[in-house]
Amino acid sequence: MFDPIAFRAQFPSLCQPEIYLDNGASTQTAAAVLNAMDSYYREYRANVHRGSHSWAERATSAVEAARDSIQSLINAADRRAVVFTSGTTAAINLVAWGLIDYFQPGDRILVSAMEHHANLVPWQLLARRTGAVIEVIPLKDDASLDMAAYEALLANKPKLVACCHVSNTLGLINPVEAICAKARQAGALTLIDGAQAIAHLKVDIQAIGCDFYAFSGHKMFGPTGVGVLAGRLESLGELLPFMGGGEMIDKVSFEGVTFNALPHRLEAGTGPISEIIGLGAAANMLQSLDASAYEAELTALLLDGLAALPVKVLGQGPRVSLVSISVDGVHHSDLAHYLAGKGIAVRAGHHCTQPLHQLLGLPGSLRLAVAPYNTKQELQHCLAALAEAIALFQEMA
């Protein structure tokens, strides 16, 4: 049985009175993560994979143990199919650059209309370099993905489909298994952006059936500056290395280079060693966490509370504990400032989904993103403050 108070106690930064509901942007860091990083710096700080001394051996083992933890967390078929990057953005760019030889002018790339800029702009850059064409999977009126339209677009034989597992603005969970199965039948590669899914859902990348899956440490109670590109070993093996340098080579001469095996071939240079070790600790913690029922309770409390206010909830369908709203006649930034004044941290803006907001006819929205360390009282407090703020700003309008 999940104990939210015991879970909360694992986060040193949460001893403050402030209410933190900006977990979609970044979660707080667990003590186990801080301790893992601290002991690397205090006890065995060395570079990895290149030394025969005991410090390097210990650092290498810790990094490789973190790889095993990630493999287990997402059920990757092979530990070599877990590549450390600096985050989701870096992971998606690694794929987009790595596929440069795969695209010809006129080839199609499908992206959904709810993508974060990190899962849109790298494809736009790839399209610019190769002459490929981006097509957008539209949304239905409730802002969920239009699967019929998706199937129709697959008839054009796209070479790649890029879609988020969970939208960082809508909080909606996309049917990624079906998306990947249909893409595969149509002969397309798939990249799933798991940045917002990894902390909320039990992710099984083999069951999803994607070629590539990307996520960030800082959204799963881990450190900043580290993330993962995982997927099918064969698909990762097709990527041309994006960065050249140490670690990613097999043999180098003045005449040429042959590359190292996966995962090292995609991990040029010294990586964020302490962060990788911290990420491993976060993965271990997440793997033993079973907060889905509690998160569903918090989501229901939030949605019920919002239903009693004059707000519009963006998107309908299966969702994680992340909800964005808009309020007629009130600017989202005014609401966020008011809440900040009451010690409540939320996020206002376009959340790096400008095209989605354009589609919804909104300049931005207010996002409440809940983690299992949040309490029901915190949400009630936030809803009450939101009601005050709306009444105040609507009166002023």
Among 108, 116, 319, 357, which residue interacts with ligand PMP (rule: CB under 6 A)?
116
Among 168, 321, 324, 326, which residue interacts with ligand PMP (rule: CB under 6 A)?
168
Q: How far is the CB of 118 from ligand PMP (least distance, A)?
A: 4
Q: Is 85 an interacting residue with respect to ligand PMP (CB under 6 A)? A: no
**x-marked contacts with ligand PMP along 324-363 as a string, rule CB under 6 A:** ----------------------------x-----------
Q: Which of 182, 193, 115 is nearest to 154 (CA)?
A: 182
Q: Is 200 an interacting residue with respect to ligand PMP (CB under 6 A)? A: no
Contacts of 152 (CB under 8 A, 6+ apart): none
Q: Is 89 an interacting residue with respect to ligand PMP (CB under 6 A)? A: yes
Q: Please give the order of strands across the beta sheet that includes 227-231.
A: 82-85, 227-231, 212-216, 189-193, 160-164, 108-112, 133-137
Q: How far is the CB of 373 from ligand PMP (least distance, A)?
A: 19
**Residue in the block written with tokens 């939208």:** 167
Q: Is 22 an interacting residue with respect to ligand PMP (CB under 6 A)? A: no
Q: Is 87 an interacting residue with respect to ligand PMP (CB under 6 A)? A: yes
Total number of residues that touch ligand PMP (CB under 6 A)? 13
Q: Locate 111 and state its tokens.
A: 């992206």
Q: Which of 117, 118, 127 is nearest to 89 (CA)?
A: 118
Helices H / strands E in the chain, number of each: 14, 15
315, 143 contact by CB (below 8 A): yes
**Residue in the block written with tokens 């097509």:** 135
Q: Is 93 an interacting residue with respect to ligand PMP (CB under 6 A)? A: no
Q: Note if 163 is an active site residue.
A: no
Q: Is 23 an interacting residue with respect to ligand PMP (CB under 6 A)? A: no
Q: Is 216 an interacting residue with respect to ligand PMP (CB under 6 A)? A: yes
Give the single-character DSSP code of 317: S
Binding residues for ligand PMP, rule: CB under 6 A, are 87-89, 116, 118-119, 164, 168, 193, 195-196, 216, 352
Residues identified as active-site:
352
